[in-house]
Structure 1
């Protein structure tokens, strides 16, 4: 295939009628070709260099001879604190690696000045030392507005990548190292007078209370601070602390732990609003000087006059009255209890009685006997039984009735007196056991539902208003109820009559 030269092609173009256009094309293409040739020549003669800036690596091509010249071409303006490896005057070689580490930007706010520096310091104290700023150990440092210790390690540098809205050239030009802000708050001296030898403390606090707390000076509720805890701190301020005394007060059943600035026990009680009056006792005394952990005991003392009464029950006296019917009574004198009064002086300590003194005793009222007249008039009375039989009696008694026979009397059949009554009569129907004081033996009685019986027996359980109705063993009827017992005429001699009957057992209502 024949080689077509540029000149030959141009001649063919002129013959074909497109000559004018190709002539103009040749006029512009020649400079472009020359430029491309120059670019290719530059690329062939340039050296590749690996550049790392703040950890961001990129490859560049250069004809510069030294590191410093290359960094200048790259637009990297370095501060004296920045680090370059290898050194800036090092000759460049093909595929060399250059590392640039820029110092951290720092904004310092100190003593009213706003400074912009760069530092390799790893703690706030090192950065301030790099800036030539002296910091007292009492000064306070704020890192981005937050209190931080002087030797606290700083956080890792924060790199912010900017949005790629347009081409900013090299990759490290799109990264921004965020500055940190250090603010120094200078401490000021204040003098603290805590009751002994005054001493000086340095503080950055805004108020007296905060300054004392930073100095680990404990203030109790009862202490007095002058100027007050909320007062602002100024250089040379003198703070006076009047200490309170801790003490215990035992009063009204409570143990109070408190503090006071008073000098005596009386001052402490007054400050607590504890009143002492009358016979109250205070230990130790009111004028006793206070000391730490003193225990004050207040004893409430009260004296009252008490009057007691001793009751002497009246006696009841029964007197006979022959004009009153038997088993009737009449009160002649209601009677009255005797009253003896005693007056005492009673002493109380904290509400508890501790002493009682007898002052005098007197009889307020003499006892008066109760006089009751009982009837002794006996007249015959007639009772008509259910079958129409009439019985003449002289007394009717309400009694608790039971029944028994020879085999139920509680006597052994082998006993010689088995089946015999107290009077020696054989046991049978019609024999009743009574209390001889109420119904004389051998008296005749009538019991409705039983009939006529004769009081021929007694019993250990037959007392007062109890009567036991006798039966034969083969016709025993069990009794357990209250009945009216009629004592048949004639009455016994007066000396055998119990005129006032005991009220036992008590009949049901």
Structure 2
């Protein structure tokens, strides 16, 4: 290949490096690499290798130049020599390298400073930022519902940590330390979720919340005394987030009185009947207890067993009749006449006769059956005004006659039942005088009026023994 060819195309490089002219053009155009390091000419072009100590020296010089400091050539040589010794190179080689750098920097010094200064600032910024980054990072142990894990966080407090980790917290959940507490590296944070427990304790139902994960832990947390108690679930049973229903019956002292004996037992029975059975007492037939057998036995309660015997008895009882009165204008005032006599009814009643512990109780009515209905009595009541007088009989001693005949009693009846009233009328004579019904049912005024009419027609003959009293 001719010289002209070399000048036109450059030196051939089997590794693809540019020729001498290409290297010269790159040097003249760029002056330094993109990294801010001057290019070294080589047989194959630009030398891309730069020792670490040279990069450090360049960064230092750029910083000094930015601060207004002047770097002397001998200082530059000494720095380069020291760096060469640290790198294991010969001192002379360091000086030659320094001279080459000086020659390059003298061509375009301002461009080199401008390229090195941003790199120095970036290095300083990254160093400070890394320190702040590491200071904000915290190693925390987070335990959620008993499951621990170690994590790194930039959160400032417990609330931020839980939000960052997506851990929801409800009103019944417990967080330790409390939300809002400042965090430091090495802290431990625990979250315990609340679980609803539908608790029936000694017959009383209520809903409570617990952060315990087992039945045994829940009992301790709720302060329930479980020694000797009945539990509807095993103590080791886990409690899920949905909770569970738990029936607890603590051990209680119950006293049973039966057949003249007293028995005191410790029991966790659910009913009084179960407690009586645990005391070894058997109920027969109609036997019962002083409290409901289905009731819950309370601590310190006394239960009496009642031995009951009973029988049934049937009795017949009368049903009283009613009386219905109606006004009658044909009868004098004060006169009542029974138009239809009443009749009592009859019913059959069954009673239960009960004896408790040998003591007879009041009979209890169970059933009743009417055998005969009662018949209502009908009575006519007089509303007719009494006459003022009866001519020829008004001046007689009618009071004396009545006292002699009936003792002055309007409703008197003789032993034979034939005569009645103040003046002892028989029914036939009473009706002939205009009376109705029986004379003893009429008023005293009407009886006296009828007696006066009888005297006018027959004189004192109707009263053979007492008639003489009329004239006294």
Taking structure 1 as the reference length, the TM-score comes to 0.28
* More helix per residue: 2
Taking structure 2 as the reference length, the TM-score comes to 0.30
* More strand per residue: 1
